[in-house]
Structures are given as structure tokens and as C-alpha cells.
Amino acid sequence: MEQRTLGADVRVGAVGLGCAGMSGAYGQRADEQGIATLRSALDAGITFIDTADHYGMGHNETLVGQALRPADRDRAVVSVKFGALFGVDGSVRGVNGRPDAIPTFLGYSLQRLGTDYVDIYRPARLDPAVPIEETVGALAEMVQKGYVRGIGLSEVGAETIRRAHAVHPITDVQVEYSLFSRGAEDEILPTCRELGIGVTAYGVLAQGMLTGTWRQPVGDARHRGHLPRFAAGNIETNLALVERLREIAASRGTTVAQLAIAWVLSRGRAHRDVVALVGASRPHRITDAVDAAGLRLTEDDLDAIEQAVPRGAVAGERYAPALLSLLDSERTGGRR
């Protein structure tokens, strides 16, 4: 698989694996199926494995650890998000980026993963009560002690990226980026490129909208009814955009999903600094992602895609207001 470079020297495949769906983010999955998917990904050249301590309340890290033991650990670049806080009812309670909390979060993650280091460790979101310099400073101490090899960020704006990078080199910034979510193009991507920071793009299939598998408007579709773009009045517009992409995909002999992934990868091909994170919970989905990584879009293809789905054409925000308010990337620029 084509390679990408995150930060100074972290080499990974152009497509990464997002593991949230293996631990109940979109319904229950068998552990054996998740482990098989992870191992299929590694065999296919997908080396960036993205998890978080809150995925399945720790279950996901345990699953990743089981899949990587014992011989596959050095084949993978494991990215872990930490600090997201949830109530007993599953409600979002905020994020904890306090320096004194980081060793505890990390210790639990290392135990669940069954490893003595994490390749990239990042706060799940910016803690507005803690200066980013303090959070990154504490992470830098974990790097010095050998428990962490690289520091990442997630859903932060350009100013925060600069402040963090001034304390310790940042390996990559994880941000939602797709044909339906292009706000990162304004400040986040240019800032990362200027500073030599990689970008790991999640949500490349727009929470499933860009899989191309839905043809009829649906309201509360498989745990997605809380997402504005799936709400009645918005989903009809958005599915019409998907149909335009379907025509382009058909002309290339590919699928809407592969076209959407290839578009994200095209944004970083010249600099080799953008990785597309694809969620998969079944081994056969890995083949689809790998095929997308090999799809080269021409300038004519890119022009046709831009005309079919111009920026701002999507209806609805990516999250409800309460969740958007938690994103530093939204507060400091990066809408749509």
C-alpha cells in the first residue's frame, strides 16, 4: 500500500483502521470478528490502528491488544485517544486533559493493550479548562520515559496546534474530513502542512452516508438519528448528493465509498501526509478500503466530484450543537 509520513518519521499505510465499530459504536460485534478484521488489515498493509480508552469503556483496547499479540505489535502504529468522560447513562460529560490524570489514563491503556508503549497518544478532545501547553508537557514526560513514542491531537484548531507544537513536536492531528465535512481545509490542514504535522482523517464516509448503500430517506437510521445530516429534511438533500457521486463512481467502475476514500487520499497525495481512517468491523471490508487506496483520481474526476458535491452543499451540521460546542476545531474556524 502507498505510504504516508506522519510528523517527522512515522511511516504508515495511506489507509488506517478505525476500531470504534468493533466495540458497540454501531451495535454489538463478536470479538472474534473484530480480531479477524484487525489481522486482515495488518496483512493488507493497513498499519495505523486507531482506538480510544472510551471505546466500549476499555473493551476496544483489550480487543486490539488481543489481535496484536504477540508477534504483530511491531507491525502496527497504535493510536490511542484518552480523557473523554461519560456518565453512567452514556452521556458526554466532557474531557479531562489534566497533567496529573495522564499517567493514570495511560497506565490503564497500556494494561488493556498488553504493551509497554503507545505509538501515538492524544487527548480525545481539548480540555477547555487546561492550557494545551500543560497537557502536551505532561505527554512529553511520557515520551521521555518511553511509554509514548509520539504525541497527537484531535479536533483542535490551528492556534491550538501551533501552541502544542511549540511545546513538543506533534505527530498528527486527527480531524473529521470528507466530501461532506471540509472545514479542515481552511486553517487546520494548511497549518499542519506548514509545521510538518500529519493529518489522520476520520469520518471519511460521513458516518456511513457516503457508503452509497442507502437509497431511501430514513430518519433514525441505526443509531444515527441524533446526527443532523440524517434528520428528516436534511437526509433527502444529502442522499441526492450521494446519487451524483454514484454516477461518477460508476463511470470509473468503482463504488461511492471507494470514490469518497480516494478523494480524501487525493488531498494529501502530493505531500504524503493525509491518512484516511476507515471504520471496518468485518474482514471483507478491508478489501474495499485497500482497493480505494489504489484508486487514482484524475483532474477530470476531481473536477466532476467538485461539481457534484460542492463545499457547503451538504444539509445539516456534522453533530448536534451540544457536541459541536466541545470541538476546538469548530470554535476556532473549520465549519463544513
Q: Tens digits of per-residue pLDDT, 75-116? A: 999 999 999 998 888 888 889 999 999 999 999 999 999 999
Q: Which of 222, 215, 257 is nearest to 236 (CA)?
A: 215
Q: What is the distance between the alpha carbons of residues 52 and 227, in angstroms, rounded to a whole number? A: 21
pLDDT value at residue 220: 45
Q: Which of 152, 82, 78, 153 is nearest to 117 (CA)?
A: 78
123 phi, psi to nearest 5 deg:
-65, 135
Residue 236's Cβ-count burial label (10 Å; 0-12, 13-18, 19+) is: exposed
**In the chain, what are the domains?**
3-208+260-295 (3.20.20.100)
- Which residues are tagged catalytic? 55
Q: What is the distance between the alpha carbons of residues 336 and 142, in angstroms, rounded to a whole number? A: 35
All residue ranges of the chain with pLDDT < 70 are: 25-29, 215-225, 332-336
Number of other residues whose CB lies within 10 A of the CB of residue 335? 13
Cross-strand partners of 101: none
Q: What is the distance between the alpha carbons of residues 211 and 100, in angstroms, rounded to a whole number? A: 41
CA 163 vs. chain centroid, Å, equals 22
The answer to whether 103 touches 142, Cβ cutoff 8 Å, is: yes
Q: What is the distance between the alpha carbons of residues 12 and 1, in angstroms, rounded to a whole number? A: 9
37-53 tens-digit pLDDT: 999 999 999 999 999 99
Residue 87's Cβ-count burial label (10 Å; 0-12, 13-18, 19+) is: exposed
Q: Which of 6, 275, 18 is nearest to 149 (CA)?
A: 6
Q: What is the distance between the alpha carbons of residues 301 and 307, in angstroms, rounded to a whole number? A: 10
172 phi, psi to nearest 5 deg:
-160, 160
Can the peptide bond before residue 70 be classed as cis, meaning omega within 30 degrees of 0? Answer: yes
Q: Which of 161, 218, 217, 155 is nearest to 184 (CA)?
A: 155
